[in-house]
Amino acid sequence: MVKRFFLVLLLSTKTVFAADVELNARQALTKMTNAMRVLNYQGTVAFLRNGKLETMKYFHAAEKGIEQERLLSLNSPLREIIRDADKVSCLFKSTQQAVVDHRPVGHSFLVDVPQDLDELSAVYDFKMAGEEDVAMLPAYVIAIQPKDDFRYVRKIWIEKQQFLPLKVAVYDLSGTVLEQVVFTDLEVKEALPFVEAKFGDATENVKHIHQLQAQASDQAAFVVNNLPSGFEEIFFTRRPIHNSNQPVDHLLLSDGFAAVSVYMENKNTAMQQGLQSVGAVNSFSRTIDDWQLTVMGEVPAKTVKFIAEGIKLRH
């Protein structure tokens, strides 16, 4: 009887601990999203993408609900990138060329985590995966594990005191690292200045893109029939592209972490067909009558192919 009592107690303790681990992981992610929004902080961050490593100075200023992110490259090509909400300005120092991207949805340079993690419980598991030091700071390791093979595994290292992200990694289904964002030093400040994007002599060389407002997706020339569980339509736009007057339909899909873009434009014989892969990004292109369809995103190849093959023309 005594042995049975202790066995039941042990199993009950394990069940409670497992629930606490999942709850703590979600709490840590929620605290992180809040800290990223309200704190002033700066540091040096390394971006590993497409097999290339780039180190940049990072600044985040926040005051009364207003945020600004800024990146300064430390190596060629020298450039400054500023994000104010959904507007991203990039100035190339050597050529004085500037690009202003008006995005319908603002995205952090570091990592985006949905506000409501409960909605993602059907497609992701959130778990504490241990503790490690990053940039000489102790951090919780949060594993974001998909429940299917339509999306990548992610891990986020969250600093224990301020709950800022110190490292973000994206893995393919075999466990190979595809992308990383890692701070080599990070400092929280009482305040940081907001910087205005000053183009100087580059005013005439400023290129504005994505200036159109989001439109209703039922205006798209196509219909998406195949969507992996959890993916939803975020916004749709129709705009000219490739320096021409030919319109391109663009539909953005997301499951909260992974984003997929669907493009449809007039068919061009020079356009590539089939699957293309660059780092974590996969794309799949095919023709539908006189249209060229491309599905692209930071998801496995299976996902873009699955979505593309289910797209039909709207009648």
Q: Is the pLDDT of residue 91 over 60?
A: yes
> In the prediction, which pLDDT does 5 show?
37
Phi, psi of 114 (to 5 degrees): -60, 150
Cβ neighbours for 285, distance < 8 A, ≥ 6 positions apart = 271, 272, 273, 274, 276, 292, 293, 294, 295, 308
Whether the CB-CB separation of 311 and 262 falls below 8 Å is answered with: yes
> In the prediction, which pLDDT does 114 show?
87
Which domains, from first to last, does the chain contain? 39-189 (2.50.20.10), 212-313 (3.30.200.100)
> In the prediction, which pLDDT does 51 show?
84
Q: Which of 253, 265, 263 is nearest to 291 (CA)?
A: 265
Q: Cα separations (Å) of 231 from 217, 277, 287?
A: 15, 21, 23
> In the prediction, which pLDDT does 86 show?
82
Q: Cα separations (Å) of 220 from 32, 48, 253?
A: 36, 35, 14
Q: Is the pLDDT of residue 4 over 80?
A: no
**pLDDT for 114-128, tens place per residue?**
888 888 989 999 999
**pLDDT for 147-179, tens place per residue?**
999 999 999 999 999 999 999 999 998 999 999
Q: What percent of the chain has pLDDT over 90?
A: 60
**pLDDT for 218-263, tens place per residue?**
778 889 998 999 999 988 888 766 556 678 899 999 999 999 999 9
Q: Which of 8-22, 66-80, 92-106, 205-219 is predicted least confidently?
A: 8-22
Q: Is the pLDDT of residue 39 over 90?
A: yes
> In the prediction, which pLDDT does 87 show?
87
CA angle 260, 42, 117 (to 5 degrees): 40
Q: Which has more pLDDT, 283 or 272?
A: 283
Q: Which has more pLDDT, 12 or 137?
A: 137
